Structure 1
Amino acid sequence: MRQVTESPWLRRFPGLPNPGFRLLCLPHAGGGASFFRDWRRHLEPDVELLAARYPGREERHGEAMATSLEAMAACIADACAGLDECPLALFGHSMGAALAYETALALQARGRAPLHLFVSAHPPPHRQRGGSLHLQTDAALLADVCRQSDGAPSALDDPAVRELFLPALRADYRLIERYRRERVEPLDCPVSLLLGEDDGEVNDGEALAWAAASRCGLDVRRFAGGHFYLRAQRRAVLEHIGGWLASYREPAWQLWP
């Protein structure tokens, strides 16, 4: 088996010698690859977990921030070229959903469309809401994070952590608030949308508009909670993702009635 080429854009949790599938997770604005470190224990043994490492945080602290989601997607797709031909699924939460779509599109252009795209808690590319929070004060940015987290206690309560966190958060808000596609390009794979029942970041029309992003269909699954529903619903989220991966694992004749 060809070895996975190490890339600053990818973290493995941990690598498997012969994975049946790979799941690449893309974090939310201000987030890092470590957000997904506990996901491996809830995945099937043949699923290798990867997470995108964005510049300007964690191991890449001190590196220049990205200039656009499309540029980041191209770098992540290039990093995926170092992987063997094992089927790859993508999962992106919030800003990561838009980045996951762009990465899937970049992979498709390279002749390696992903097996499945899972997008979470974000409108589709052609229905972005925009905004100007990236131009506002630190307090305004932090208030928005608190709002989306339903006021839950956070490491950001520590002033030292806030100082390290804010540059990446502001850079990510700039990326997503400036991102928009006038026309969505469909992918050659199914798209699954995951949502918190109480999340106001995606309305019903925006949710259904994700259908334009796939030639293979859209399914929508709602979970209890708000924008960061996946913290409390991690097991249910991974069971949902695992169910989809299991459907690709079964021989076609076993799927007949």
Structure 2
Amino acid sequence: MTPVDLVCLPFAGAHMDPFHALRRECESAVPGLASMTVTYPGHGGRVHGALAPTILEMAHDALGEIDEHRARRGSGHRETVLLGYSMGGYVAYELAHLLADRGEPPVRLLAMAATPPAHLDGTDLDLGTDDELLEHCAQYGLVSPGSFPEGTMRRLFLPALRNDILAVDRYPTARGRRPLPAATELVVFTGAHDATVAHQDRWADLTAAPPRTHVYDGGHFFVTECRDALVRDVVAHLGTHRERTAA
């Protein structure tokens, strides 16, 4: 069987690995699977580095992290599965194009909690104050102004969150109209009560074959609200992928 790399791309403002438990369960259930979560510049263990202000720059940086991950595991052909959550879905979309541009086989893209990129509505956001930023992010159900009291926590964590929200808001719609590379497999995961995501059916515009879709009884962060069902579905897709590549 061809070994598989599962590459996870987090949502805006993530500093810790939100996929740690999911990755461990997938590795236990799918023999030969290796996984990693990309840390964006200026986030987590790279918090003192310069932020990447655009989705495309994040994707280029992620490509470098993938190459380092592969180098540590040794040479040899590996299949790549990209799991992108919210903002990470757009980074994964760009990354799929970058991998194809350098001649790699088509990836499988698992797009979670993300509006199709051509339908992102840029609004020229003006997030002038930290409280305005947190009020904007409250719609996703993860943070509120009270989540970050004044002081060190805001100085450490909010610059990355602000950067990421603006990167999504300013993503060029024209880039999001490009079909995914030929033979890319697309699977869409969404929360039934996620009011921040729209036009999920239009992901079909990006691939020759209709994407498979999973809908969970949760909001934007169904990754925690519906964790067991999500893990089960991701493991099932990874297992199916391996069976096909081994055939």
Do they fold alike, i.e. is TM over 0.5?
A: yes
The within-5 A match list for 1:1-257 is 20-32=3-15, 34-43=17-26, 44=29, 45-82=31-68, 83=70, 84-149=76-141, 156=148, 159-182=151-174, 183-188=177-182, 189-203=184-198, 206-250=199-243
Deviations 1:125-170 (A, max 9, x none): 2111112445332112112222211668996468532331110011
Provide structure 1 residue ranges, at least 5 long, that are not aligned to the other structure. Answer: 1-17
1:92-135 C-alpha deviation (Å, 9 max, x unpaired): 11111111100111111111144310011111121111124453
TM-score where L is the length of structure 1: 0.82
Shift of 1:173: 1.2
Structure 1 residue 194 displacement after superposition: 0.6
Number of aligned positions between the proteins: 235
* Cα distance in 1, alignment partners of residues 246 and 219 from structure 2: 39
Contact 1:65 1:168 in 2 (8 A): yes
Higher relative contact order (CA 8 A, sep 6+): 2
RMSD: 2.6
CA separation in 2, counterparts of 1:242 and 1:152?
33
Q: Distance in 2 between matches of 1:165 and 1:219?
A: 35
Quick check: 1:130–1:179 contact (8 Å CA) kept in 2? yes
Provide the secondary structure at the position in 2 that maps to 1:235: helix
- Mapped to 2, the partners of 1:221 and 1:145 lie a distance apart of 24
Q: Structure 1's 129 and 176: CA in aligned 2 closer, same or farther, altered over 3 A?
A: same
What is the CA distance between 1:32 and its match in structure 2? 3.1
- Which residue pairs with 1:8 in the alignment? none
2:60 corresponds to which letter in structure 1? A
Task: Give the TM-score normalised by the residue count of structure 2.
Answer: 0.85
Report the AA paired with residue 25 of structure 2.
Answer: H
For the structure 1 residues 235 and 42, does the alpha-carbon distance in structure 2 shift closer, same or farther, using more than 3 Å as the test?
farther
| Counterpart-to-counterpart distance in 2, 1:151 and 1:226 | 14
